[in-house]
Amino acid sequence: MGQASSFPGRSPELNGFRRNSCSRREVSGSAAKIPHMEIENQNSEKSAENNLLTTTHRDFTSDLPDECLAHVFQTLSSGDRKRCSLVCKRWLKVEGQSRQRLSINAQSELFFHIPAVFTRFDSVTKLSLRCDRRSVSIGDDALALVSLWCRNLSRLKLRGCRELTDLGVEAFAQNCKNLKKLSCGSCDFGTKGLNSVLEHCSLLEELSIKRLRGINDNGGEAVEPISLGSAAKSLRSICLKELYNGQLLGPLIIGSKNLRTLKLIKCMGDWDRVFELLAISNNGLTEIHLERLLVSDIGLSAISNCANLEILRVVKTPECSNLGIVSVAEGCNLLRKVHIDGWRTNRIGDEGLAALGKNCSHLQELVIIGVNPTALSLELIASNCRYLERLALCSSETIRDAEISCIASKCTSLKKFCIKSCPISDNGLESLAWGCPNLVKIKVKKCGKVTPEILEWLRVRRKSLVVNLYVNKIEAVDAASNSDSGRAQDDGLELPAMDNQAANVPAPARRNA
């Protein structure tokens, strides 16, 4: 008998045929399912693509409330805000309604656009109106119209608005009674307009006046005196610049009981008497700036009664001497910042600076220009002023390498040091490699004996120290610009420890100072 078949009663050939047929049916069945899978995959891909397109074209900012969008705009610069306002109508509207600060070219044509401008920018509280000297500025009608549209203004800056008169300023003051800061320069209105502001703007805190022609010249008529008004109780800062008749505002300075900051720059007249009366009525001043002013030691002695004074700038006042500086140093022990420009008159020197060192232990910033101190006064300052962080010595004939070494060994808190037009050499700067452990920045200008080689040496010694050497008026060499190591920031605190390689670098060859 032959071999038994797999299926009873069937031949082997038939069994093989059935097996092949089943295999073909299985394959053909699987193949029949593939087109359906491809169609499903294609549909899924199209659906995902449609969802992606929908997501891509969706404006996610539409979910943000206007208040949140406005808050985002407030973090942007003025230029970025302008660009954002061009994106869509909603952004244009929100940007305009959320803008609080606005600067406008105040030419005469502005009058016709005021309603449209302040319809869009209806939340403005700080407004600047500027006009260049070659153009015709806005007049009284325009300023009055602005005041009707912007009754909530808190700050106003006027520059070059020569067509404004007292009438326009009076109308503005009557409508904008919430004004807190007024700054005007190169305008033609006078004391009548100022008196109106002082009378109606009872919240006024800051007043800045520069080149106000209406005070200097009133067409041959008598100038109306300044009245205190209701603003005298709220004024905290007064700044007067380049006023020929600036003493007209003396009664306002004396009568402002809460005045904290006083800046007088290039104002004609004898100011000693004003300071004498001011010391009697108000000794709460914390900042005084006197520049190119006719004030003497009498005025400085009166200022010494301001025991809360923290900032003092005495710049190019030729009548001031050591006597006045000593009086201020003894009476104002809380001084933090002192700037003295002696204008090379040699009336302020070691005696005045030594008094600052003895009495003003809270001093953090000291700038000395055109004064000739020696190591005697500098050592007192360096030893007693433990919080001194910023020091500048300029145009001094007596600041040499010995004085720089004294500063390096004594000023342990010093962070920024500037020296200009002084007869120092590389030997003096070399001492800074070991002293002043908190020093982060040195600036050297117009010191002919200092060479660029000292910069590279200092950089290797103290890698995070930034050293700027101005070889001449144009060229500047930055010792830290080529360093890949972390640069010292202006507010840097500590310097990294010096490595062994730096310790073995030789100093530049010494030469006679």
pLDDT, residue 76, reads 85
pLDDT, residue 39, reads 54
**Position of tokens 């045929």?**
17
Encoded amino acid at 268, one letter? M
Q: What is the DSSP string of 321-353?
A: -HHHHHHHHHH-TT--EEEEE-TT-S-SSHHHH
Encoded amino acid at 62, one letter? S
pTM of the model: 0.79
User: Nearest to residue 337, comparing CAs of 308, 362, 304, 306?
Assistant: 362
pLDDT, residue 87, reads 83
* Phi, psi dihedral angles at 341 (to 5 degrees): -115, 100
pLDDT, residue 48, reads 57
pLDDT, residue 502, reads 36
The whole-number mean pLDDT for each consecutive block of 10 residues of the chain, a chain of 513 residues, reads 43 46 47 52 60 62 79 83 83 83 94 94 94 94 96 95 95 96 94 95 96 72 82 96 90 94 94 93 92 96 96 96 97 97 92 96 96 92 94 95 93 95 92 92 92 86 87 47 37 33 42 43
**Cβ contacts of residue 444 below 8 Å, gap of 6+?**
418, 419, 420, 429, 450, 467, 468, 469, 470
pLDDT, residue 479, reads 41
pLDDT, residue 13, reads 46
